[in-house]
Amino acid sequence: MFSSGYMLLAGAIMLASMFVSNKLKSKFAHYSKLHLRNGMSGVEIAEKMLADHGIRDVKVVAGRGMLTDHYNPTTKTVSLSEGVYHQRNAAAAAVAAHEVGHAIQHAKAYKWLQMRSKMVPLVSIASKFSQWVIYGGIAMMASQQAAGDSPIGRNILIVGLIMFAAGTAFSFVTLPVEYDASNRALRWLKDKNMVTQEEYAGSQDALKWAARTYVVAALGSLATLLYFAKYLNRR
């Protein structure tokens, strides 16, 4: 059903994603060995950053797994993974401060975060079904060629593309949210002298690779959307 061009595109996206993901894990492991001079743990870094910004209604909790750190605006909790919560190194400091950066965005009503939050309900549904709707539309269009032209398959494909486009838009809205959170984290770490120059460089490098995972996801989603849009146009 799919051409070799689609398979090459999917393969290229998968390889790029794997490369950046593995690089991030490697960087995190490397900077996890760079222990903080101030001896503070990830949870202590997060709690101090919250206090310094006057945020007292956000809790820092321990999560499970590795690199599963996140901020939940609904429950107002910063969840730090096992490799961050108790650890006292440059990688843990970077991740903890980054997640608090999201809490600060929430407190300050950062427009890109607000926009992303409003998109979540729609995208959570669209992302689950968009590719299946696209595949269904393509399959129906292929089967209709022998029986004569029919708009049903084409219309289904268009609906699938609209759903997929919502997910793509979400991916790009996420980029300024993530980069801004990292910038807030690094600025605070530096201004408050929380890290040495070497530790700051390590934190900066770790967050740079974390951000690139979102860039790859957004570009991959856009490339896939354009491919299927081109397929529809040819038909």
pLDDT of residue 211: 96
| Digit-coded pLDDT (tens) for 54-98 | 999 999 999 998 889 999 999 999 999 999 999 999 999 999 999
Indicate which residues carry an active-site annotation: 99
Burial of 141: CB neighbours in 10 Å, binned 0-12, 13-18, 19+: buried
Return d(Cα 229, Cα 158) in angstroms, integer: 8
Return d(Cα 66, Cα 84) in angstroms, integer: 8
Taking residues 170-180, report their average pLDDT: 98
Taking residues 202-226, report their average pLDDT: 95
| Digit-coded pLDDT (tens) for 128-140 | 999 999 999 988 8
Report residue 2's pLDDT band, with 50, 70 and 90 as the boundaries: low
Predicted model pTM: 0.90
| DSSP string across 99-120 | HHHHHHHHHTT-HHHHHHHHHH
| Digit-coded pLDDT (tens) for 12-70 | 999 999 999 999 999 999 999 999 999 999 999 999 999 999 999 999 999 998 889 99
Number of structural domains, the chain? 1
pLDDT of residue 56: 96
Taking residues 225-233, report their average pLDDT: 89
Amino acid 37 reads: R
Question: 234 pLDDT exceeds 90?
Answer: no
Question: 118 pLDDT exceeds 90?
Answer: yes
Return d(Cα 159, Cα 22) in angstroms, integer: 35
Return d(Cα 169, Cα 183) in angstroms, integer: 22
Q: Would you state the torsion angle of the CA atoms of residues 223, 224, 229, 232, taken in this order, to the nearest 10 degrees? A: 140
Assign 72 to helix, strand or coil: strand
Q: Are 71 and 106 in contact (CB under 8 A)?
A: yes
Q: Are 177 and 102 in contact (CB under 8 A)?
A: yes
Number of residues in the chain: 235
Taking residues 210-215, report their average pLDDT: 96
pLDDT of residue 181: 98
pLDDT of residue 213: 96
Mean per-residue pLDDT of the chain: 92
Taking residues 167-188, report their average pLDDT: 98
Q: Are 68 and 148 in contact (CB under 8 A)?
A: no
Which has the closest alpha carbon to 200: 179, 185, 210, 216? 185
pLDDT of residue 3: 65
Q: Kindly state the DSSP code that residue 57 receives in the 8-state scheme.
A: S
CB atoms within 10 A of CB 165: 17
Print the domain residue range for 214. Answer: 4-234
Return d(Cα 195, Cα 38) in angstroms, integer: 7
Strand 70-72 to 77-80 pairing:
antiparallel
Question: 1 pLDDT exceeds 80?
Answer: no
Question: 164 pLDDT exceeds 70?
Answer: yes
